């Protein structure tokens, strides 16, 4: 259950840092809540209290069967709550078993959560709620991760989603289309975690498409430059690894990773990338947005005043 608790702690720190670096968030939420009719607000508050208790039950579940059943009931209750008129305006910010991330253009928000099984594997659950204050427009995201082998180059739909915990959304215009860079976190097993950038847009039917085009020009493990539909940063779960957007400089920053042997000075050869054997070495890389794609940046200064605000999981820090 270590990664499940890691996920929950990840949410706690992400939420707290979002408040630090987005000082207007609280007043914005208060304004949104102020628009909700009194009877709808009362119903939503009651649902939130129920979901908090159900979240505690999910944490206390001691077997895969109970965990799955509790997660199913939790999701069912959450969907029922979202059917309440004006639910989009309600933040549900006391819930700690689900990550709720709003798009800055206010078009949609995502709900993502995970459970871990006794064998160390994880299952991800997600949904996209479109901004509609009259009726619920909800797109379920079905975790298809076990069947996705080439996860950096696979186009996914809502029914074949590469499951992860979404913690930040950055909208960017390319012509008439808005592409959303989704920042996410994923525990593959007890040893390997992944952070990622997933490029998403909505098609003509308002359905999400993940990684339709290769829009990320990045460095491969052998130092060659390649185009990817999805940037994935695998690392050992015991390490604290950052990947986030620096709005002030319109760039992405992430930790440069090396093998333990390199970190310990036993070799200067990078070696083939194995997620469980990747650790930060104190230097940074990144991406700069160039009209229609993310372009790789090497050797970004590590001065604390020049780095991006990064939500680092308590889970990573406590090890």
pLDDT at 12 over 60: no
Q: Closest by alpha carbon to 197, among 237, 227, 169?
A: 169
Instruction: Give pLDDT tens digits for 62-82.
Output: 999 999 999 999 999 999 999
Query: What is the structure's pLDDT at 301?
Result: 83
With contact defined as beta carbons under 8 Å apart, do 71 and 58 qualify? yes
d(CA 104, CA 179): 12
d(CA 66, CA 117): 11
Question: What is the reported pTM?
Answer: 0.88
Spell out the domain ranges in the chain: 2-317
Query: Residue 255, Cβ neighbours under 10 Å: how many?
Result: 23
How large is the average pLDDT for residues 211-223?
92
d(CA 239, CA 241): 6
Q: Which tokens in the block code for residue 305?
A: 């005043």
pLDDT at 317 over 50: no
Query: What is the structure's pLDDT at 28?
Result: 75
The helix (run of H) or strand (run of E) holding residue 66 is helix 64-82
Q: How far apart are the first and last CA of the chain?
A: 15
pLDDT classification of 26: cutoffs 50, 70, 90: low
């Amino acid at each position: 259950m270590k990664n499940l608790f890691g996920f929950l702690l990840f949410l706690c720190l992400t939420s707290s840092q979002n408040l630090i670096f987005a000082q207007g968030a609280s007043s914005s939420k208060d304004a949104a809540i102020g628009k909700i009719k009194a009877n709808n607000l009362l119903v939503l508050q009651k649902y939130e209290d129920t979901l908090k208790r159900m979240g505690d039950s999910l944490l206390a579940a001691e077997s895969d069967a109970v965990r799955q059943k509790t997660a199913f009931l939790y999701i069912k209750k959450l969907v029922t709550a979202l059917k309440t008129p004006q639910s989009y305006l309600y933040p549900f910010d006391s819930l700690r078993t689900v990550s709720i991330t709003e798009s800055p253009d206010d078009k949609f928000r995502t709900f993502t959560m995970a459970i871990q099984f006794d064998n160390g594997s994880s299952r991800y659950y997600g949904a996209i709620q479109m901004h509609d204050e009259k009726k619920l427009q909800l797109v379920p995201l079905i975790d298809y991760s076990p069947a996705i082998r080439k996860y950096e180059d696979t186009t996914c739909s809502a029914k074949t989603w590469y499951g992860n915990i979404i913690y930040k959304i950055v909208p960017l215009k390319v012509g008439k289309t808005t592409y959303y860079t989704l920042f996410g976190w994923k525990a593959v097993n007890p040893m390997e975690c992944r952070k990622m950038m997933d490029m998403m847009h909505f098609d003509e039917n308002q359905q999400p498409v993940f990684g339709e085009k290769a829009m990320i020009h990045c460095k491969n493990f052998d130092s060659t430059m390649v185009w990817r539909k999805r940037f994935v940063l695998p690392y050992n779960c015991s390490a604290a690894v950052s990947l986030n957007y620096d709005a002030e400089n319109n760039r992405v920053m992430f930790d440069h990773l090396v093998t333990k042997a390199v970190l310990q000075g036993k070799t200067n050869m990078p070696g083939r990338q194995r997620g469980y054997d990747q650790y930060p070495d104190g230097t940074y890389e990144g991406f700069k947005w160039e009209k229609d794609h993310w372009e790789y940046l090497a050797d970004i200064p590590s001065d604390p005043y020049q780095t991006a605000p990064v939500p680092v999981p308590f889970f990573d820090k406590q090890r």
